[in-house]
Structure 1
Amino acid sequence: MLPKKLQTKIDERKQDNAFRQLGKSNNLIDFSSNDYLGFSKSKLIFDNAHKYFVDHNMFQNGATGSRLLSGNNELFTQVEQQISDFHNCESALIFNSGFNANLGFFSCVPQRNDVILYDEFCHASIRDGIKMSNAKAYKFEHNNLKNLEKLIIRHSQLVSESHQDIYIITESIFSMDGDAPDLTQLSKISQKHSAKLIIDEAHALGVFGKNGNGLINELQLENQIFARIITFGKALGCHGAAILGSKQLKEYLINFSRPFIYTTALPPHSVATIKVAYDEMLKQVQHDRANLNLNIHFFKSEIKRLQLQQLFIESNSAIHCCIISGNYQVKHISEALKNEGFDVKPILSPTVSKGKERLRFCLHSFNTAKEITKVLELLTTFTF
């Protein structure tokens, strides 16, 4: 029987209309997944990953152990080099997931007496990793660089005395708002104060940059970033993540990042799929990203035509959020859209702050203009 304290927490979630349940697969029109380029359902990527195995006489289902034991193979080395070249960085280290990568980085890199300054809207994996660190951590107001610089100045006074380092962490595209910080100005601030800048690029990979290599590459800030976290479960349509940085950082993570050291490695087929997805990014990304960008612009123009601007958070990414206060209300509208054939997920409190509940529209290269117009016109029929 579940302990009483735990059952009470479950009951409170149900009372607040915040109870989470696993959904089922459906054939609804997709405005909810992170599969921005449609790669997760690409038969070509699936077939080419299988072909790679056949051509290299690799018939292995599992990794058999962590990479420091029996789980490493030449394929990891090849793909990490491919990732480094693609993102114009010294090295890359593959992790089993984005959550794992953030835990692995923040739990071991910032040291005692160091300071972590993080955007208040940073992902749960970043916040959990920070909790595991021995460093002191302080949040700054979302995308407020003036507030950030005040915190830097306040905490940098002891740098020379304690030999502390200051780490700044933010996301290039925020998953719950779809907005972005001023990364160019942020990099100038970090350089000015000799702080180390870490950027989570989970929702920028495949969407921004000449070849889909992210906002940092698009803005040519690669040499000003201490570390980047990229994930493959979104635009690349597969699984896993990587931390990008210097060779010394990679060596350090291999030696001290517990989620890397003590985890069974990704199975070879997952690594091969990452490789093939990157190959496909270079071949087809211009077409796929062109369609995605057209859909983003059209979605924004339809918001304006239908006079819905006051409900939506400003975004140039594939994520667009319509604020609908109250868990019951936003769930009700999501269900109504589902009944009309559209999969638009409600984001509830406590995932977001009370009063900031929302419908989260994720746009894709495969959505049609007709679908975009229809779902937004349906949205106008509800009273907020």
Structure 2
Amino acid sequence: MAGKAQVDGRLSNLEGTLARILDQRKQRSKLRVLKSSSLNATDFSSNDFLSLSTNNEFRKDFLHELKAHVLPVGSTGSRLLDGNSKYAEQLEQTIADFHGSENALLVGSGFDANVSIFTCLPQPEDIIIYDELIHASVHDGMRATRASTLLAFKHNCVTDFRKQLTSCLPLVNRQSVFVAVESVYSMDGDLAPMAEMVAIMKELVPSGDCHLIVDEAHATGLYGHRGRG
């Protein structure tokens, strides 16, 4: 961003407002600054749970892939325009096969995935029931969702989940219900009682109009057979 910050020695309204906000954050010890981390530092704060960013075998495999395939070094555009490739499609199929799924879709990040899912899938008048400790990216998606009803249930509480789903049953014949959980919650590391939740969904909504959306960001590679989550 470039522009003239001051007029006749006076901060503009925008500059003054930002300066006050930054000063308030500094006073609360919440002003953060960019810094570089040493390669030898111990990492307690990033999302690199499997240490893939510093794994030599992963690095070798990555470089081998670059040499083995003639790939552009940029997407050139969105995949819907001219950025798609056979390599991307093959990777999606590999991911789908790994998870025993019909299909897979590559996105830029887990944040992008959650925002896209909850923005696009629920239609007007649909219902979203979500764990109260669901990830912030799901909340970002729900802020832009077309669903008309958002209901939180107590964290990992199947009793409260049953209560919330039961309250929606009069609408289920006409609308869809989406249930949002994380298989492994990032902050506490506890596991969602998904087997019990699925049993309740099948019991109360045997039509199949209740859909479970599971964020596996913190389970893939760590839990399940061969790390399938």
Global fold match (TM > 0.5): yes
Question: Equivalents in 1 of 2:30, 2:53: separation in Å?
Answer: 29
Is 1:22 matched up with 2:37?
no
Gaps in structure 2 of 5+ consecutive residues:
1-11
State whether residues 168 and 190 of structure 1, in contact with CA within 8 Å, keep that contact through their aligned partners in structure 2: no
**1:112: how far off?**
0.8
SS of the residue aligned with 1:69? Answer: helix
SS of the residue aligned with 2:198? Answer: helix
1:339: which partner in 2? none
**Aligned pair partner of 1:51 in 64, 75, 79:** 64
1:102: which partner in 2? 114
**What TM-score, normalized to structure 2?**
0.84
**Aligned pair partner of 1:80 in 92, 101, 107:** 92
1:184: which partner in 2? 195
Q: Deviations over 1:124-179 (max 9, x none)?
A: 1100001111112121111112111111111222222xx11111101011111111
**1:70: how far off?**
0.9
Question: Equivalents in 1 of 2:135, 2:33: separation in Å?
Answer: 21
1:172: which partner in 2? 183
Gaps in structure 1 of 5+ consecutive residues:
215-384
Is 1:206 matched up with 2:224?
no
1:319: which partner in 2? none
1:123: which partner in 2? 135
Is 1:149 matched up with 2:168?
no
Question: Equivalents in 1 of 2:19, 2:158: separation in Å?
Answer: 42
**What TM-score, normalized to structure 1?**
0.52
Q: Deviations over 1:18-44 (max 9, x none)?
A: 333333212322333333332211232
Residues 193, 52 of structure 1: alpha-carbon distance in 2 compared, 3 angstrom cutoff = same
2:55: which partner in 1? 42
Question: Equivalents in 1 of 2:122, 2:170: separation in Å?
Answer: 18
Q: Deviations over 1:37-73 (max 9, x none)?
A: 32211232222222223223x1521010100111100
- Number of residue pairs matched by the alignment: 211
State whether residues 119 and 143 of structure 1, in contact with CA within 8 Å, keep that contact through their aligned partners in structure 2: yes
SS of the residue aligned with 1:30? Answer: coil
1:132: which partner in 2? 144
Question: Equivalents in 2 of 1:83, 1:155: separation in Å?
Answer: 34
Question: Equivalents in 2 of 1:9, 1:128: separation in Å?
Answer: 23
Question: Equivalents in 2 of 1:192, 1:6: separation in Å?
Answer: 53
SS of the residue aligned with 2:166? Answer: helix
Letter in 2 for 1:36: F
1:322: which partner in 2? none
**1:189: how far off?**
1.6
SS of the residue aligned with 2:130? Answer: strand
Q: Deviations over 1:318-364 (max 9, x none)?
A: xxxxxxxxxxxxxxxxxxxxxxxxxxxxxxxxxxxxxxxxxxxxxxx
Residues 148, 22 of structure 1: alpha-carbon distance in 2 compared, 3 angstrom cutoff = farther
Question: Equivalents in 2 of 1:7, 1:112: separation in Å?
Answer: 41
Question: Equivalents in 1 of 2:154, 2:20: separation in Å?
Answer: 33
Question: Equivalents in 2 of 1:149, 1:5: separation in Å?
Answer: 47
